[in-house]
Structures are given as C-alpha cells and as structure tokens.
Structure 1
Amino acid sequence: MTGKILFSVFVGLAGGLAVGAGFVAFLTVLKVIPRLTQLTKTMKMIHYYEMAIVMGVLTGGWLGLQNNILGMSKLFLIPIGLADGIFNGMLAAALTEVLNVFPIISKRIGIQEKIVYLIMAIVFGKIAGSLFQWIYFVDL
C-alpha cells in the first residue's frame, strides 16, 4: 500500500514539473509577456502581467485538484473536451516547432528524410495514451 502511494506521489510531482517546465518554456521562448506589454504599450506594468499569470496558474491548479461538480450533461462535455484536447495538442506542437525540436531530433538519430514518420509516431502515441486513459480511468 505504501509503495503505491509513494509511486503516485512521484508520478504526480514528475507530471507537475514537466507541465510547469513546459509552461515556463512557452512563456520564455516565445516572449509572451514582453510582447503583450509591447502591443498594449504598458511596459511599466509588466510585473502585474507576471503576477496575473502566476495567480492564474495557481488558481487553476488548485481548482483542478478540487472535486467540483458542475452538473453538466455528458453530451455537452464531449465537444468541450475535444476542443480542449485540440488546443493543448496544437499548443504543444507550436512550441516544439518554434524550438525546432523535430529537425534536431531527426538529425541526431539520422532519420532526416523520414521526419514525417517521427511526427506521426508522436501523434499516434498521444492518441493511444489518451484513449487508454479514457477507456481505463474515466467512468462514463
């Protein structure tokens, strides 16, 4: 029993660190906050933007750990979940594309001419993982 709890804690912390690192990389590499302040001509208020993002992430994380029940129909939640999955997938793909991760990986392992297969393997892996999670862990 204790081993399962420790494993769950380890997986939860590792997942949180991975998501947090990805979020920070997204904000840092794409320079979201400085670009936003530049567009709105509010460079003096950059600390407020940063604080709003930190508070939003903390609030969203805390709400995600709560057992909230909204009482919505399951049929209504299907398109919301689909849109959320598409958004997250496209956001991750955009971040990796900006960082040129796929060309670097394909060059390092020597499959430059087969980069399409690499991308499709990642896509099908994400699909298989999502289906496994929904089939195994979600009670409809």
Structure 2
Amino acid sequence: MVIEAIITVFVGLGGGLTVGAGFVAFLTLLGVIPRLTQLSKTKRFIHIYEWSIVIGAVTGSIVSLNDIQLYLTKWLLVPLGLAAGIFVGMLAAALTEVLNVWPILAKRMGLQERIVILLMAIVLGKICGSLFHWIYFVDH
C-alpha cells in the first residue's frame, strides 16, 4: 500500500513537471507574452501578464486537485467568463501571429486571396462550437 502511494506520487510529480516544462517552453521560446503585449499595445503591463499567468496556473492546479466550489451569481460569472475568453483569444492570436500560421495555412489551401473568408470560417466555427457546448452540455 505504501509502495503504491510512493509510485503514485512520483508519477504525478513527473507528469506535472513534464506539463509544466512544456507550458514554460511554450511561453518562453515562442515569445508569446511579449508578442501579446506588442499586439495589444500594453508593453508597460508585461509584468502583470506574466504574474497573471503564474497565479492562474497555480490557482488552476489547486482548484483542479481539490473539490472547490464557488457559489457565485450569474451576474458575476458573465464578466469573469468574458474576461477569460478575451484572454484565451488574445493568447491564441499572439501564438498564431508568432508562428505565422494563417499565411502558411492559406497558401497550402490555395486561399491566399480569400484569407478573410478563412479567418471568418474559423471564427464562426469557434462561436458555433462554443454555443453548441453551452446550450447542449451545460445544465444537462
């Protein structure tokens, strides 16, 4: 029984270190945070971005490991969800900007002249998928 617990601790620690190292490599090697501040013209807040990601990662880890329930009103959840969605969207935009995904994708698909249509299809697909998830899966 004790050996199983020790093995579980080492596997969990190893998995956490692997995911953490990948996350840090993603953020540092690709320069996502500096590019995000450059795109949003908020370079003076770069330390706030960095600490927000660190605090968010630690808080997310604590919440996912414990059974924490927050009883918040829907009026408070709407701005929190909106802020989280904006942050994730801007982070994804910074990542795609860093990797130059859209020009490469448009070239491979033969849509150089219609890149706006490609972007709108991706945006509308994301919106429809999110709405489907919330309408169908939430509260069922």
TM-score bracket for the superposition, by shorter chain length:
0.5 to 0.7
What per-residue deviation string (whole Å, max 9, x for no partner) do you get for residues 47-79 of structure 1?
A: xx9xx95x9636523413543222211111111
Matches within 5 A, 1:51-130: 53=54, 57=57, 60-64=60-64, 66-130=66-130
Contact 2:32 2:94 in 1 (8 A): no
Across the aligned residues of Structure 1 and Structure 2, the Cα RMSD in angstroms comes to 3.3
CA distance in structure 2 between the aligned counterparts of 1:130 and 1:65, rounded to whole angstroms:
25
Q: Relative to 1, partners in 2 of residues 1:73 and 1:27: Cα closer, same or farther, differing over 3 Å?
A: same
Q: How many residues align?
A: 105
Q: Which residue of 2 aligns with 1:29?
A: 30
CA distance in structure 1 between the aligned counterparts of 2:128 and 2:65, rounded to whole angstroms:
25
CA distance in structure 1 between the aligned counterparts of 2:94 and 2:76, rounded to whole angstroms:
28
Contact 2:32 2:95 in 1 (8 A): no
Q: Relative to 1, partners in 2 of residues 1:67 and 1:131: Cα closer, same or farther, differing over 3 Å?
A: farther
Aligned-residue identity in percent: 52
CA distance in structure 1 between the aligned counterparts of 2:33 and 2:24, rounded to whole angstroms:
11
CA distance in structure 1 between the aligned counterparts of 2:33 and 2:117, rounded to whole angstroms:
31
Structure 1 unpaired stretches of 5+: 1-19, 34-48
Q: Relative to 1, partners in 2 of residues 1:129 and 1:61: Cα closer, same or farther, differing over 3 Å?
A: farther
TM-score (norm 1): 0.60
What per-residue deviation string (whole Å, max 9, x for no partner) do you get for residues 12-37 of structure 1?
A: xxxxxxxx96774333211759xxxx
CA distance in structure 1 between the aligned counterparts of 2:59 and 2:76, rounded to whole angstroms:
24
CA drift at 1:83 = 1.3
Report the 3-state secondary structure (helix = DSSP H, G, I; strand = E; otherwise coil) of the residue aligned with 1:69: coil
Q: Which residue of 2 aligns with 1:14?
A: none
Contact 2:96 2:102 in 1 (8 A): yes
TM-score (norm 2): 0.60
